[in-house]
Amino acid sequence: MRRWMMLAGLFLSLVLVWSVGSALAEKPIKVGIVDCYSGPPSTYTNDVRDAFQLAVDKVNAEGGVLDRKIEFVTRDSKFKVDIGLAAAKELLMREEVDILMGTINSALALAISDLAEKEKIPFFATFSKSDKISGQAGHRYVFQITENTTVAGKAAAAGLAKRPYVKYWIAGDDYEYGHAIAENAWKHLKELKPEVELLGQSWWKLGEPDFTPYITSILSAKPDAVIIATGGAGCVPFLKAAHATGFNKQVPFFMHTATELSTLKPLGLEAPEGVIGTSNYFYYYPETPENQSFVEEFKKAFGREPKVGALYGYITAQLIIEGYKKAGAFDTEKFIDAVEGMDLATPVGKVTLRACDHQAMLPMYMGVTKKVEGYDFLIASDIVTIPAEEIIPSCEEIAKTREAK
């Protein structure tokens, strides 16, 4: 009993010393990033952080924002909600950051969003694709940079409706992201083209190692086209299995992130051709000076081409910098008023942060995988730009879902 007390006392005093030591004097603008830097998602999140750093370094070299430098610290959530949430609170209360950003994990993003609302601190959700973040669970203090599942689904429907397929099969990752993309795609496809018919669905667990059995079962149903709602680590093995079984040659299929660099680069020239995919960003498209100079800077700093996450990180940094500039003061409420409805000149052109739901209005690019001379991996070709206004739910729709809650 006494031993325990002594240990507890020791522990308490250690904590006390530690907390006193960390009290800080004058500080710069501090951004806290909570994200998953371990495991498969880190291939996406590292780009968010690095591009963020790129933008911040640039502005700091010019003397910072309103004479203050921007600093940022990162915490690894390990893709676990409890660890990430504790880290967010640590950033908020101990590190005393002014802004929170990050997380590719939707559950964690929603948890941090809830915290941000309570604590009245801006939170930029960079890569988590749940449409609840800016939709149903949206509030004044949360911002969503990435496209979300509603947008991805609508974009898929917009692209697929133009193609002649009628009989569909839907398959995907058995979690919120997969189901949400599939449901949105199907709902809007049905609206655009009422004669479509759903033959069936298959859902696999997250991290499914081998897709061959699913592919054979889909092929045996003989659909005209397939919507694959898999994301992240599932894309590579799925494309592998598709290539090995010749799936893409028998049935055309759509897969949301199929054309992304993180999916296609590891596969080299062994990826299947003709796969339809959508993404917010390619380093080789659009071929504008803005994008090319961004790619150059990123390559120079980190020795690799930027992936889609880089765009999200870069835009977040731009919002923070321009927001404080426009607000003219370091005040959270003024900052939020300033970024609402703000237009940014980004690598993909003008992007607006919509005032009604704090969703960044990013265009979506739909392309088809193809081998192209000069690349040692497949790239997206025949790219069609789907403007954000066409696929992002209107402010009225957002208001309706928020009321329904």
Stretch that binds other proteins, among 230-238, 273-281, 338-346, 389-397 (CB under 8 A): 230-238
3-state SS assignment for residue 385: strand
| Cβ–Cβ under 8 Å, residues 172 and 181 | yes
In whole angstroms, the minimum distance from the beta carbon of 78 to other proteins comes to 8
Q: What is the DSSP-derived secondary structure letter of residue 65?
A: B
In whole angstroms, the minimum distance from the beta carbon of 393 to other proteins comes to 18
Residue 391 half-sphere exposure toward CB, CA atoms < 13 A: 31
284 binds other proteins per the rule CB under 8 A: no
Q: Which residues, at least 6 apart from 368, have a Cβ–Cβ distance to it below 8 Å?
A: 259, 273, 274, 275, 276, 277, 380, 381, 382
Sole binder of other proteins in the list 17, 24, 27, 268 (CB under 8 A): 268
At position 312, the amino acid (one-letter code) is Y
Stretch that binds other proteins, among 140-148, 266-274, 354-362, 380-388 (CB under 8 A): 266-274
In whole angstroms, the minimum distance from the beta carbon of 25 to other proteins comes to 16
261/344 with CB nearer other proteins: 261
40 binds other proteins per the rule CB under 8 A: yes
Q: Where are the alpha helices (DSSP H) in 246-307?
A: 247-250, 261-267, 289-302
Question: Which of positions 161-180 make contact with other proteins (CB under 8 A)?
Answer: 171, 174-176, 179
The residue length of the chain stands at 405
Give the C-alpha separation, 238 to 228, whole Å. Answer: 9
Cα 284 vs. chain centroid, distance in angstroms? 19
In whole angstroms, the minimum distance from the beta carbon of 103 to other proteins comes to 12
Nearest of 21, 47, 191 to residue 126 by alpha carbon = 47
258 binds other proteins per the rule CB under 8 A: no
In whole angstroms, the minimum distance from the beta carbon of 364 to other proteins comes to 23
Stretch that binds other proteins, among 184-192, 216-224, 273-281, 350-358 (CB under 8 A): 216-224
379 binds other proteins per the rule CB under 8 A: no
Nearest of 157, 140, 139 to residue 193 by alpha carbon = 157
Distance of CA 97 to CAs 63, 187, 264, 382, Å? Answer: 20, 41, 37, 44
Q: How does strand 99-102 pair with strand 276-279?
A: unpaired
In whole angstroms, the minimum distance from the beta carbon of 376 to other proteins comes to 12
In whole angstroms, the minimum distance from the beta carbon of 8 to other proteins comes to 7
179/334 with CB nearer other proteins: 179
251 binds other proteins per the rule CB under 8 A: no
18 binds other proteins per the rule CB under 8 A: yes
In whole angstroms, the minimum distance from the beta carbon of 232 to other proteins comes to 9
234/347 with CB nearer other proteins: 234
b/e 287-298 (16+ beta carbons within 10 angstroms → b): eeeebeebbebb
Sole binder of other proteins in the list 191, 270, 343, 390 (CB under 8 A): 270
Stretch that binds other proteins, among 199-207, 318-326, 330-338, 343-351 (CB under 8 A): 199-207
3-state SS assignment for residue 384: strand
Question: Which of positions 55-94 make contact with other proteins (CB under 8 A)?
Answer: 75-76, 78, 80-83, 85-87, 89-90, 93-94
358 binds other proteins per the rule CB under 8 A: no
Give the C-alpha separation, 238 to 287, whole Å. Answer: 29
Give the C-alpha separation, 56 to 68, whole Å. Answer: 12
Stretch that binds other proteins, among 263-271, 345-353, 362-370, 391-399 (CB under 8 A): 263-271
Tokens of 79: 């893709």
Question: Which of positions 110-149 make contact with other proteins (CB under 8 A)?
Answer: 110-111, 113-115, 117-118, 130, 132, 137
Q: What Rg do the C-alpha atoms of the chain give, in angstroms? A: 22
274 binds other proteins per the rule CB under 8 A: no
Sole binder of other proteins in the list 143, 247, 312, 335 (CB under 8 A): 247
Beta strands in 151-260 (DSSP E): 167-173, 197-204, 225-229, 253-255
Give the C-alpha separation, 134 to 398, whole Å. Answer: 8
201 binds other proteins per the rule CB under 8 A: yes
Stretch that binds other proteins, among 9-17, 51-59, 347-355, 382-390 (CB under 8 A): 9-17
110/255 with CB nearer other proteins: 110
Sole binder of other proteins in the list 17, 27, 38, 58 (CB under 8 A): 38
